[in-house]
Amino acid sequence: MSVPHRSPAAGLPDFGGTLGVIDEGADVPIVAPKGLMEHAVAENVYAGTAMLRRGVYHTGGGLPPGEKGLIGVGVGFAASHGLPSLLAPTLDITRSGQEERLDGVLFRFQLTPDTEAPSEMNFHLPERRALCMAENATHNLHNILTLRGAVVRDARIWSRYLTEAIQLFGDDSDVLFASHHWPTWGTDRLKRFLSEQRDLYAYLHDQTLRLTNQGHTGTEIAEIIELPPVLERSWHARGYYGSVSHNVKAIYQRYMGWYDGHPASLWEHPPTASAQRYVDCMGGLDAVVAKARAYADEGDLRFAAQLLKHATFAAPDSAEAKELLAQVFERLGYGSECGTWRNNYLMAAQELREGVKPVPIAAGSMASALSVDQVFDSLAIRVNGPEAWDHTVSLHWHFTDLGARHQVILRNGVLVHHPTQRPDEEADLTLTLTKAQLMGLLADQTGLDGIEHSGDPAALRTVLSVLDEPDTGFPIVTP
């Protein structure tokens, strides 16, 4: 099935290693916060190809390790490798305070939705006086919006859940650990650590909104805001993975959206068309490159990069502009404290010189973990609307292993689907099959051999014919 999935060094969210721990079908509980599967698919499959492509920049997946290449991601040295896998949870955590005894060990859970992930939880081992904070409190500033792309996280609720964790577990813990980095030992130290982490996210949230309400845009606020001295001096609050700059912009985006309020921003030309006009206004490509070189020589790498972005989009075949931009990106990368900024800059430099190197998609067992609704959602977002405008077909799917029926209709360039209880619902094609057969049909597209059906098989061929294949190697720093 052609749906995007996690790939080596892609830098996507922290799930996908289930079969590295247990065998499929093993009698082992799989515990997760309620809603994990829905959020995992929404964040990783629906926009997964674009996230995968940007994730290579995010993690430096194409950089050689070394002082001029990959030295880390901020939350670790590199993204994990190998085939991803995901099995559905067998035990949902539905409320904070829920207790479960697993292999003889008592776990007490705290649900923290919309913090580091849409579906997230911390847990406490009261008999061991140990507290796991997932990725909600690590030894750096995390991401409110990861550079690979994601739903914007809620810094306000993130800080509130850290306060709740202190209240629920602080006095009853001797050690705090998380999904990344090293543990924090001692009740007083871990409470101070959690308090400063809480203050970090709360400060960024509150000050961003204060300055927003004074009329500043996200870009302006990112230049204005400063952390309090105590937080500025705290090593665990440094921007090794997230950064104050892009997190402030993310908080602004969560509340205000992409529009900065200036009407000139409403209907700007797209990047290539804008670049051509800017270059024309500035006297042509040679003049722009010369100006950019002068700014770079003076140390204003940020503006040199802006000018050279216009130059390379206006004249993508200019070797001089691309090489100079690559050099500017290298200098910006080498000067970045934030690991993901460094990786983005250095990946861009590499791509300007060597071109796009598509990363193969490693499907693993991710597709099999999707629900039937999610499978049809994944097809719907691949429908080429204009190619499908003139088609109207309907398919009725009866899944014998699930005891479920689904109606799928292609109309007006939209693939609409919904569960149904009506076995006699009118359709151009009716299929009786298992979910595994559905996955095989979509993966191989070899036809209906072995699948019970009635009606016109051309209806299925019509649906499959209007599905676009995702592009895992689209350009980023060139048009």
In the chain, residues under CATH classification 1.25.40.880 are 265-339
Strands (E), 252-382: none
Position 366 pLDDT exceeds 80: no
Neighbours of 431 (CB within 10 A): 24
Backbone dihedral angles phi then psi of residue 236, each to the nearest 5 degrees: -75, -5
pLDDT in tens, 409-457: 999 999 999 999 998 889 999 999 999 999 999 988 768 988 999 999 9
Question: For residue 62, what are its two tokens?
Answer: 């194409």
Q: What percent of the chain has pLDDT over 90?
A: 77
What pTM did the predictor assign? 0.90
Q: What is the CATH number of domain 18-256?
A: 3.60.15.30
Q: In this predicted structure, what is the pLDDT of residue 10?
A: 47
CA distance 24 to 76: 28
Position 361 pLDDT exceeds 80: no
Q: In this predicted structure, what is the pLDDT of residue 319?
A: 97
In the chain, residues under CATH classification 3.60.15.30 are 18-256
Order of strands across the sheet that contains 414-420: 414-420, 404-411, 393-399, 429-433, 452-455
CA distance 41 to 31: 17
Q: Who has greater pLDDT, 228 or 80?
A: 228
Give the domain 265-339 fold: 1.25.40
Q: Who has greater pLDDT, 45 or 344?
A: 344
Q: In this predicted structure, what is the pLDDT of residue 341?
A: 97
Q: In this predicted structure, what is the pLDDT of residue 173?
A: 98
pLDDT in tens, 183-242: 999 999 999 999 999 999 999 999 999 999 999 999 999 999 999 999 999 999 999 999
Q: What is the CATH number of domain 371-465?
A: 3.30.1050.10
Q: In this predicted structure, what is the pLDDT of residue 82?
A: 72
In the chain, residues under CATH classification 3.30.1050.10 are 371-465
Position 75 pLDDT exceeds 90: no
CA distance 338 to 341: 5
Helix (H) or strand (E) holding 102: strand 99-102
| Residue 153: Cβ-neighbour burial (10 angstroms; 0-12, 13-18, 19+) | buried
Q: In this predicted structure, what is the pLDDT of residue 1?
A: 40
In angstroms, how far is the first alpha carbon of the chain from the final one? 29
Q: In this predicted structure, what is the pLDDT of residue 13?
A: 54
pLDDT in tens, 117-148: 889 999 999 999 999 999 999 999 999 999 99
Round the average pLDDT of the chain to a whole number and report it.
92
pLDDT in tens, 2-16: 333 344 444 445 667
